[in-house]
C-alpha cells in the first residue's frame, strides 16, 4: 500500500512516496532563493516555479522509491490552506495522474499534514486523543485530535502567525529570509530576559503583532539614543524569541490540561526552533505530558507528511476518492 503525496501550497514543490511510517522518497525543490530579495514569498514566482519543476520532482520521487507506478495505491495532494495559484498546480497535476494511472485521489489539509508529521518517524505509537500544535509561517493553531479525520481547532493566532512575526522582525533587523532560521541562530540563552516583551494570549488564542511593534519601537528608540550595538541587537532578539516561544508553550500546556489531554503532538516550520523544542520538552516533562516532535527534516513543508496523512485517510479511514477537489486559500 504505497501512497504518493504532492505538496505545492507555498514555495516548496514536493513529491513523496510512503508506506505508513516508512518514507521511500521525499523530493523537495524550493523556490526560496527567488523570493529572498523580497523578504517574503511572492505568490506568482512560487506558482511559476511549481509549474516548471513539478514533473521532474514527481519523476525523481518515483525513481528514488524504486517502484513501478502500478505499485502506487493512491495519490494525495494538499488542497488547503495555501496560495491558490500554487495549490492549483499540485492539484491539477495530481488529477492528471489520477486519471492517467487510474488511482484514487485524496485531498489533504496542509495543517493536518503538519500535525501528523511525527507519525512518519516515531517508533513509539502516538495515542489518540492528543493536543495538536501547528506553528508555521502562515499559522499558529491548537487542535484537539481524536483521529486522523477528527481534527478540531480550539485556538489560533488573532493576527500574525509566529513564523510570520519571526520573518517580519528579521527583515526589520536586516537579517536574511526566512527570518526564523536567523533568529534561532542569533538567540543567546543568557540574554533571554534582557528586555521584557510580552505576547498577548487572549483566551486559548495567540497574538504576536503587538510584540513585533513593541520590539521595532524599542529598536528605533535605542538607535535614536545611539546605543544600538550588535550586543544590544542580540539582547533584543533573544528576549523577543523567548517571549514568543514561551507564549506558545504556555498556551499548549494550559490547553492540554483544559481538555484533559496527556499527549502533545507538534508540527510546522517553527517547530525546528531550538529554544521552542527545549521549552516544550521541559514543560511537558514538568507536567507529565508525552511530547512528540517531528525530526527537523519533516518540520518545514514537505510531501512526505502529505503522503503520510493520505496513507492513513485512504487505508484506515477509507476516505472516498474524488476528482472534485478545489484549491482553497484558508
Binding site for Zn ion (CB under 5 A): 136, 301
Segment 160-179, which members bind ligand KG4 (CB under 6 A)?
163, 166-167, 178-179
With CB cut-offs between 5 and 8 Å by kind, which of ligand KG4, Zn ion, none does residue 14 bind?
none
Environment class of residue 198 by beta-carbon count within 10 Å: exposed (0-12), middle (13-18) or buried (19+)?
exposed
Nearer to ligand KG4, 75 or 266 (CB): 266
Our finding on whether 280 is near ligand KG4 (CB under 6 A) is: no
Our finding on whether 300 is near ligand KG4 (CB under 6 A) is: yes
Among 14, 104, 138, 294, binds ligand KG4 (CB under 6 A): 138
DSSP code string of 129-191: SEEEEEE-SS-EEEEEEEETTEEEEEEEBSS--HHHHHHHHHHHTT--SSHHHHHHHH--GGG
Nearer to Zn ion, 47 or 136 (CB): 136
Our finding on whether 272 is near ligand KG4 (CB under 6 A) is: yes
CB of 215 to Zn ion, least distance (A): 24
Among 31, 78, 98, 136, binds ligand KG4 (CB under 6 A): 136
CB of 54 to Zn ion, least distance (A): 18
Segment 179-198, which members bind ligand KG4 (CB under 6 A)?
179-181, 184
Nearer to ligand KG4, 72 or 293 (CB): 293
Sole window of 30-38, 149-157, 193-201, 270-278 interacting with ligand KG4 (rule: CB under 6 A): 270-278
Place of cell 488564542: 205
Q: Are strands 130-135 and 140-147 parallel, antiparallel or unpaired?
A: antiparallel
State the cell numbers at 290.
508525552
Side-chain half-sphere exposure of 96, counting CA atoms within 13 A: 10
State the cell numbers at 282.
521541559
Under 8 Å between Cβ of 7 and 310? no
Amino acid at each position: 500500500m504505497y501512497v504518493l503525496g504532492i505538496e505545492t501550497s507555498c514555495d516548496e514543490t514536493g513529491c513523496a512516496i510512503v508506506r505508513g511510517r516508512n518514507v521511500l522518497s521525499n523530493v523537495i525543490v524550493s523556490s526560496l532563493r527567488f523570493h529572498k530579495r523580497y523578504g517574503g514569498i511572492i505568490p506568482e514566482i512560487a506558482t511559476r516555479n511549481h509549474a516548471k519543476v513539478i514533473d521532474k520532482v514527481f519523476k525523481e520521487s518515483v525513481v528514488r522509491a524504486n517502484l513501478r507506478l502500478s505499485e502506487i495505491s493512491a495519490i494525495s495532494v494538499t488542497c488547503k490552506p495555501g496560495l491558490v495559484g500554487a495549490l492549483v498546480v499540485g492539484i491539477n497535476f495530481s488529477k492528471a495522474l489520477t486519471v492517467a494511472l487510474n488511482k484514487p485521489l485524496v485531498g489533504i489539509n496542509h495543517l493536518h499534514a503538519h500535525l501528523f508529521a511525527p507519525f512518519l518517524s516515531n517508533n513509539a505509537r502516538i495515542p489518540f486523543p492528543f493536543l495538536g500544535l501547528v506553528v508555521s509561517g502562515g499559522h499558529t493553531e491548537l487542535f484537539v485530535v481524536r483521529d486522523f479525520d477528527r481534527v478540531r481547532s480550539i485556538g489560533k493566532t488573532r493576527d500574525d502567525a509566529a513564523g510570520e512575526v519571526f520573518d517580519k522582525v528579521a527583515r526589520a533587523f536586516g537579517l536574511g529570509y526566512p527570518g526564523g532560521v536567523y533568529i534561532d541562530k542569533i538567540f543567546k540563552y543568557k540574554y533571554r530576559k534582557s528586555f521584557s516583551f510580552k505576547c498577548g494570549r487572549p483566551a486559548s488564542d495567540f497574538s504576536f503583532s503587538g510584540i513585533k511593534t513593541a520590539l521595532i519601537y524599542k529598536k528605533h528608540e535605542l538607535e535614536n539614543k545611539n546605543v544600538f550595538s550588535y550586543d544590544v541587537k542580540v539582547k533584543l532578539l533573544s528576549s523577543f524569541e523567548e517571549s514568543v516561544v514561551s507564549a506558545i508553550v504556555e498556551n499548549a500546556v494550559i490547553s492540554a490540561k483544559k481538555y484533559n489531554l496527556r499527549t502533545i503532538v507538534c508540527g510546522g516550520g517553527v517547530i525546528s526552533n531550538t529554544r521552542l523544542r527545549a521549552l516544550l520538552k521541559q514543560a511537558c516533562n514538568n507536567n507529565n505530558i508525552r511530547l512528540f516532535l517531528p525530526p527537523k527534516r519533516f518540520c518545514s513543508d514537505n510531501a512526505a507528511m502529505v503522503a503520510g496523512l493520505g496513507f492513513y485517510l485512504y487505508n484506515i479511514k477509507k476516505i472516498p476518492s474524488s476528482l472534485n477537489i478545489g484549491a482553497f486559500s484558508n
